[in-house]
Each structure stands twice: as C-alpha cells, then as structure tokens.
Structure 1
Amino acid sequence: MEKQHKTITFFHLLVTTTTISLAFASFALCIICELKKSKKKELRVDDELCYLPQSQAFGYGIAALMCSLVAQMIGTGLFVSCRRSRDRKSSMTSFASILLLLSWTSFMIMVMLTGTATSMNRRQDFGEGWLDGACYLVKNGVYSGSGSLVLIATGSTLLSCYLMVNKNRAIHAQVKREMTHNSS
C-alpha cells in the first residue's frame, strides 16, 4: 500500500513538474514573441498597397501555442485522475471544478489572442495583407497578456488538482483512523 502511494506521489510530482515547465516555456515564448513581432519600421507602403515580411514571432507563437496546449491537456488529465473519489458532491469538488473552468476559459482566450497575433506576423504581401488587403501590426502587450493567461490557466488547473488530492487524502486519513479506531 505504501509503495503504491509513493508511486502515485511520484507520478503527480512528475506530471506537475512537466506541466509547470511547459507553462513557463509557453510564457517565455510569448515574451520572445513580444520582442520579435513585426515593427512599424518593417512596413512598406506602395500607394495604397502594403507589404510586411514574416517575423520570427510567427514560429515562436506557434511553439507557445503548442506548449500551452500540451500543458493544459496534461493538467486536465491530472485533474481527472485526481477526481476519482467517493464524494463527488462536496463543496471542494465544486470549487475545484470552477477553477478548472477558469483554467479552460483563460486557455481559450490565450489561444485566440496568440493565434490571431501569430497569424498577423506571417508575411503580408502587397495587396493581400492580413485581412481586407490591409496590413496589420500586433499591438504592444498582446503577447505578454497571452503569456500571463498561460500562467493563470496552469495555476488554476494545478490548484484544482491540489484541492482534489488533498480532499482525497483527508478522506483516506479519515477512513484509516476509523479502521484503526474500530479494530481497537
């Protein structure tokens, strides 16, 4: 029984470390995107047509999206594995589920912001542009905000897992105490 508990604890630690690492990688990539995004000085205008070369933020943005997606999926998988308990209607389970909903909401907003900003950093040819044939630049702070949302999403997911694990430990400790008390 003790060996199984150590294995589960090691598994949770490994998954948590991996999730945190991916979230920080995504955050760092978002900050790099903020620094490498297309600048106004790179914009070339010919009459009403414009041209913008592809920036390095395009590749970094895709990498940030991939890291955050994997972190979110792993974190949610951890939550699902931690949720297996007898008492599914407790207030702690409800609060943990609300935190997971906050996590997914933050993640989806991050995906929309980062995905849009990243696509705007792709090459915009004369007359084609990003949308309506016009060239667009990403506003300052969009990638930084996306990076913050990654940290909020990951933090919410891991906090919901932590609440579920501690609830399960409390139930396990209570059952163990009752068994010890009844055998005496």
Structure 2
Amino acid sequence: GALPILHGSQGCSSFALVLLVRHFKHMVPLQTTAMDQIATVVGGADFLEKALVKLKARTWPRLIGICTTAVAETRDEDIAGDIINAKGARPRKLIDTEVVLARTPDFAGAMEEGWSKAVTAMIEAITLPGTQDRDPAKVVILPGSNMTVADVEHLRETVESFGLTPLILPDVSGGPDEAVRDRWIPIARGGAKVEHIR
C-alpha cells in the first residue's frame, strides 16, 4: 500500500483533505506532518521525521509519498536532506518503505504540474535503470491527471486485449471504489506495486 503525506501546517492539510472528502464523498487516506507555528518559522525536519516513523509503525506502507505545501516551501527547507537524515537516524524503523518527495507548493503551477512532479519523483526515486532485462510484453502507461478511473481501467483492458501486460503509474483504477469499505483503512491499497515499478 501507499500513504500520501502533506508536509505543512495542520490548516493546509485539513483544507486539502476536506476538498478530497467532498469530491469522493468518503474519507481518503491522507496524512500530515501538522507543523505548528514554531516549526513553520524554525523548520519542520523533526515533524517530518516523527510523521514518517509514526506512520510507518502504524500502517506499514510500501511507499510514502510526501507532497510539500506552501508553508514548507516558503522557507526553502532542504526537505530531501531531511528525509535522508530521517532514514539515516532511524534505518530500522523505515526499512522496506520507499519515501518519495514531490515538491508541490500551491504557489507554483496547477494540478497538472503537481501530478507531473509526483509521477516524475516516483520514477526517479524507485526505478533502478538498467538492472532488469526489457520485457517486450510489458507496456508502461503514464496517464495524465485528466484521466478518470474508468479511463484508466479502459486503457488497461485495451492493452491486455493485445496480450500485453500494462504497468500503469499512477494506477488509479479501482480508486474511489477501492477506498469504500466497512471500516476505515488509513492506507491506499491496490495500484502499481513498488516491485513492479522498479
């Protein structure tokens, strides 16, 4: 599973969560580093490290995607360095989890740019170029932010009808329906597996 984290203040994250819940009509797995006023001024490295360790211990995600907010970006923090330091300080607690950073402040670009940055960050952080033989039956599809769950499912079916295996990144097929369950699960299930992305 995967877990998105918004690195920023509680207010920024709450606003984004409210918008997503209103859109999908149910809770979505989204966490926050919940920086307070002091962290906003002096830096949020401690909040980021605590969030990574705490969420890893509670949910055991294979992938944690960190999206930055304007609060973290305005200070021009070295968030990539903070992630490296957190993994170095607590290697056993963050083992077997990929941590991907997408710098997505709301003052730079729109949804399409944020989507592109997130997909690019996943590819750059997870893939291991040149370590595997090419599989001629495998097709990589990078759907745009404008594609719906039904669009992605149709793409998958079309590629499979040719006897090929699609790897869709990000794979939102089954998206909102996948999240509706009898009980709350704080991690996104389904989608492309980290092992397949590598």
Same fold (TM over 0.5): no
TM-score range, shorter chain: under 0.3
Higher helix share: 1
Q: Structure with the greater relative contact order (CA < 8 A, sep ≥ 6): 1 or 2? A: 1
The structure having more radius of gyration, on CA atoms, is 1
